[in-house]
Structure 1
Amino acid sequence: MPRSKELSEQMRAQSRERIIRAARQLFAERGYFKCKVSDIAQRAEMSQGNVYWYFRSKEELLQAVLAQGFQALEQMTQEVAEAEGGGLEKLNDLLTRTWSLYDEQGDFNRILMSLMAHGGPGFMLELGFDMSDLGRRYHTNLIRVFAQARSEGLVTDVDPNMLVMLYFSLFNGLMITYAQDWQTLPADVLQQAALRMLGVSAT
């Protein structure tokens, strides 16, 4: 590939990502329905026409924001599930990476909660995201982690399905109930508390 073409594609990718980042920030700050494409263009420091060159509509831009967030979560759970190592090592890795991902994706999580409150799974399906299917994929990945931990006697002796539900409830509950405060919690303290909730007696 000629260098000029490579640089051009790189610049387009950077511009597209800048638009997505600006949209993600504004959707989280103001809510999707209160944002205009002109607001996003201003935040991205480019013309409104340039935004439309990359995305045909505000809805298409929202879909790109959501796709990035869902992909990051699925990739994280899959990598932890497929990693080599013992159950305790995987649990610690899962907790560390989940906390880091939720912290990095604070804007995405706020957008998702707002959209779910607005229209629930039906609205998400209209946008092209089957929440049941997405949940099953994350769930399947994490069942492997908790099943291994259970087989090694590390966690409480209950169905791994229940452990996965408890695990996600912990993090999602923190975000919903303590929306303004959860990111101030010390990560190491939360990690130890989560392990104990799961019945892990040694770390």
Structure 2
Amino acid sequence: MPQDKRQQHDYGPGAGSAAEVREFFTPRAADWDSRFPDDGPAYAAAVTELGLRTGDAVLDAGCGTGRALPALRAAVGPEGTVLGADLTPAMLEAAIRAERDGAAALLVGDVARLPLRDGSLDAVFAAGLISHLGEPDPGLRELARVVRPGGRLALFHPVGRAALAARHGRQVTPGDLRAEPNLRPLLARSGWKLESYTDEDTCYLALSVRQD
């Protein structure tokens, strides 16, 4: 990935090691939600696009402060299973303070090494995750491992690539991993088929299906 691992912006440090990700997010966890107060509707809309059904099992991979968890719980109902995994304990503590732990079981962990059985999930929701994976291929393969064939993956961000870059005085580069020409083959070799791709100022959403 051509993005400089040391480059940091409001939504995270870019690709890097687990230690680098925790170092970035830990001091920001307490006021994370207040820095992005208007993102809630975008999260809810993206969860709707995931097409969850009552009783489904879903993982919020890199759940942060858990902004997607209430919408995920509403989608699968009380019969369903919602898990939230994040590398940074301080982010999960913020989710608990926001009382979002009632919507999901939370666990501290690396999404590249999940303590879940093969094919045990119906879907994965991942907000901002793709930019923070030090090794995207094995990370996406691990998500494919825990999702049943035909299950779905939503790679989401509450603003599009160009809008996020402009916010920080940067330009979108052709090598951006989240660009469709780069993302599609990455997903394909990791067990996913990209079905739809949206990159607008108000939303980034790539929906994929787990292949057999």
**Common topology (TM > 0.5):** no
Q: Scaled by the length of structure 2, what TM-score is found?
A: 0.26
Structure with larger Rg: 1
Higher relative helix content: 1
